Structure 1
Amino acid sequence: MSAEQAESEPQADLPGPPPGPAPPSSAPPSSAPPSPMQRAVQNYLRHVTVERGLSTNTVAAYRRDLALYTLWLAGEGIDDPSGVTGNHVGAFVQHLGTREVEPLKASSIARVLSSVRGWHRFLLEEGQTETDVAHETKPPKLGSRLPKAISIEQVEALLDATRGDEVQQLRDCALLELLYATGARVSEAVNLNVDDVIDQEVVRLLGKGGKQRIVPVGSFARAALDAYLVRARPQLSLRGTATPALFLGLRGQRVSRQNAWLIIRAAAARAGLDIEVSPHTLRHSFATHLLAGGADVRVVQELLGHSSVATTQIYTLVTADTLRDMYTSAHPRAR
């Protein structure tokens, strides 16, 4: 499906109920109270939403992971958190990697286990259990995987593939230029409002945990944003209801994360790039190119919105690999 199709294809209308009063139901609606397991999960999700202020996407991921976990526990005959043991947690982790239908990779298992461990830690802190049964369960070892960045030439080819005077081209160019200029996560970019572009010199990004950061915008991105705001966004805004969103779809609604991914994939195809390119590819490339150009790792940490510099330092490994390759190919006694 192309980016244009994803935005312009109408949704099929589902058939509604026949006119007249609804027939009486043969079974009364279920009014069974939630089980102790369900209540414990609901309390935890409320805690991470209200007290910890985690993002909607993060809370949704916790909800999915814990639904998977509690469903498995139900299959083991456990419907109360107090009945879970460390052996159950370990067996669940093993099940995730060996199940017949779509076994999970090590990285996905580690993410699910992180949700499970956070929940059990919460249960102990709230006095709902006597021990943290997941504390000793370790995630599977992850292979050393460096971020996938593309070269400056490939980034330029990707951005050039969005050039044009059509409304959609102006929008796509501004979106991709902004992603590469700021290193923003795709969710941060599509959630931007017009007022978050401050004098077109900097943008205000809302990161994980509701943390705000101010990131400069380079001249190329400023020019692309200016062209979009003046020549394209007013036309797009007429196609939908009033919204403060910066990036609008063809129907005048806020661009979604999925549409942003499709826009980049379509641009990569037009640029002739034979590699997979995603919104996160531009974020990785932003960090890698800054460090290769001599930027301090702590400055890059602030620009990316990383809470720990250790997360940012992985990009220095990418830069070191590039330097090693250049040295090996250029130095007469390197090989």
Structure 2
Amino acid sequence: MPAVELERHLDRYLRHLSIERGLSANTVAAYRRDLTAFLAALAARGITDAAALDADVVHGYVVSLRDRPTPLSPSSTARVISSIRGLTRFLVEENVIARDPAEALTAPKQPKRLPKALSHAQVEALLAATDGDDAVRMRDKALLELLYATGARVSEAVALDVDDLVGADGTPELIRVIGKGDKQRIVPVGSFARAAVEAYLVRARPLLAAGRRSTPALFLGARGARLSRQNAWLIIRSAAERAGITVEVSPHSLRHSFATHLLAGERMCGSCRSCSATHPSPRRSCTRT
């Protein structure tokens, strides 16, 4: 196979990305930066034609990214690997090389990032954004208060039935939650969430269920059926917009905020069974109040 200048084929590949695949100028520029650095490293080793590309050469370059004095982050390394794969696949498709030398490359595992916990003030604003006397707002208030007070996953909350509320005289002091692996747990419900759920059950849920087929679901959508996870996510996003919260808010944000605030409450008020006036948010961060 005759020698083929890699730089010339890089230019062809970038034109392919821009014209045939229609990628944005910024995306093409990112590919250019990664691949220019790749070819420069190969040229320093005397490798300038595609015929010399093999799995050892490509793998050696990826290893060198991790062995730098300042190693690339896993996400940056994954991006470089993606760029190299794109180029080598292009060379195979264009019959420049017979076999893809990057086919065995695997991207490093990305660290799982927890969502940033909302501040007490942001949570207060989020919950206040669901205030209202209409049935939908009362449902939204009950849902968000329950999510924050119990740390339940949104999928667990929308799967709740009315019978999963446990307490004397119909007061939802506890909820029965079915989690991952069908594992059941009993979770205490704080006073603010209890009040919101009680108000929803008495004044709002009957209106949402009126004239519809009976369902055991606790949280109902506008048509009287069980509220979906997608609609619960939209409820949270809409409340965040009304509250003027500019950071990203997701159902898991409330779960993470619950855990963060609960730990802070335990540090400040001991057993977290009774909160003092010095507690940062005595009404909410203790779920047992």
TM-score class normalised by the smaller sequence: 0.5 to 0.7
2:132 equivalent among 150, 164, 170? 164
Structure 1: state its 5+ residue gaps: 1-89, 101-136, 301-335
Within a 5 Å distance, the mapping from 1:98-113 to structure 2 comes to none
- In the alignment, the residues of structure 2 paired with residue 231 and residue 142 of structure 1 have an alpha-carbon distance, to the nearest angstrom, of 47
1:256 equivalent among 201, 225, 228? 228
The letter for the 2-side match of 1:149 is A
* Cα 1:182–1:97 shift into 2, 3 Å: farther
1:147 is displaced (CA, Å) by 3.3
* Cα 1:278–1:144 shift into 2, 3 Å: closer
1:141 is displaced (CA, Å) by 3.3
Assess if the C-alpha contact under 8 Å between 1:239 and 1:251 holds in 2: no
Alignment of 1:197 with 2:165, yes or no, is yes
- In the alignment, the residues of structure 2 paired with residue 138 and residue 193 of structure 1 have an alpha-carbon distance, to the nearest angstrom, of 44
Assess if the C-alpha contact under 8 Å between 1:178 and 1:217 holds in 2: yes
1:208 equivalent among 157, 180, 184? 180
CA deviation map 1:245-270 (0-9, x unaligned): 00000100100000000000000000
Counterpart position of 1:180: 148
Counterpart position of 1:219: 191
- In the alignment, the residues of structure 1 paired with residue 232 and residue 261 of structure 2 have an alpha-carbon distance, to the nearest angstrom, of 22
Counterpart position of 1:79: none
1:138 is displaced (CA, Å) by 7.8
Counterpart position of 1:294: 266
1:139 is displaced (CA, Å) by 6.7
* Cα 1:284–1:97 shift into 2, 3 Å: farther
Assess if the C-alpha contact under 8 Å between 2:125 and 2:243 holds in 1: yes
Assess if the C-alpha contact under 8 Å between 1:239 and 1:250 holds in 2: no
1:173 is displaced (CA, Å) by 0.2
Runs of 4+ in 1 over 4 A off after TM superposition: 96-100
* Cα 1:97–1:178 shift into 2, 3 Å: farther
CA deviation map 1:107-147 (0-9, x unaligned): xxxxxxxxxxxxxxxxxxxxxxxxxxxxxx98723246343
- In the alignment, the residues of structure 2 paired with residue 176 and residue 262 of structure 1 have an alpha-carbon distance, to the nearest angstrom, of 12
1:97 is displaced (CA, Å) by 4.8
Assess if the C-alpha contact under 8 Å between 2:115 and 2:252 holds in 1: no
State the SS of the aligned residue for 1:228: helix
- In the alignment, the residues of structure 1 paired with residue 82 and residue 212 of structure 2 have an alpha-carbon distance, to the nearest angstrom, of 45
* Cα 1:239–1:248 shift into 2, 3 Å: farther
- In the alignment, the residues of structure 2 paired with residue 236 and residue 176 of structure 1 have an alpha-carbon distance, to the nearest angstrom, of 18
1:276 is displaced (CA, Å) by 1.1
Assess if the C-alpha contact under 8 Å between 1:171 and 1:232 holds in 2: yes
Give the alignment's TM-score, normalised by structure 2: 0.55
State the SS of the aligned residue for 1:255: coil
Within a 5 Å distance, the mapping from 1:304-323 to structure 2 comes to none
1:188 is displaced (CA, Å) by 0.2
The letter for the 1-side match of 2:209 is S
* Cα 1:196–1:273 shift into 2, 3 Å: same
Counterpart position of 2:122: 154
- In the alignment, the residues of structure 1 paired with residue 115 and residue 157 of structure 2 have an alpha-carbon distance, to the nearest angstrom, of 20
- In the alignment, the residues of structure 2 paired with residue 262 and residue 186 of structure 1 have an alpha-carbon distance, to the nearest angstrom, of 12
- In the alignment, the residues of structure 1 paired with residue 236 and residue 211 of structure 2 have an alpha-carbon distance, to the nearest angstrom, of 23
The letter for the 2-side match of 1:217 is V
1:239 is displaced (CA, Å) by 4.3
- In the alignment, the residues of structure 1 paired with residue 121 and residue 144 of structure 2 have an alpha-carbon distance, to the nearest angstrom, of 15
Counterpart position of 1:114: none
Structure 2: state its 5+ residue gaps: 1-58, 60-77, 87-104, 273-289
- In the alignment, the residues of structure 2 paired with residue 201 and residue 138 of structure 1 have an alpha-carbon distance, to the nearest angstrom, of 50
Assess if the C-alpha contact under 8 Å between 1:202 and 1:217 holds in 2: yes
Within a 5 Å distance, the mapping from 1:20-31 to structure 2 comes to none
1:244 is displaced (CA, Å) by 0.2
The letter for the 1-side match of 2:132 is G
Within a 5 Å distance, the mapping from 1:64-83 to structure 2 comes to none
The letter for the 2-side match of 1:170 is M
- In the alignment, the residues of structure 2 paired with residue 173 and residue 277 of structure 1 have an alpha-carbon distance, to the nearest angstrom, of 16
The letter for the 1-side match of 2:201 is L
- In the alignment, the residues of structure 1 paired with residue 152 and residue 229 of structure 2 have an alpha-carbon distance, to the nearest angstrom, of 13
The letter for the 1-side match of 2:110 is L
1:275 is displaced (CA, Å) by 1.1
State the SS of the aligned residue for 1:232: helix
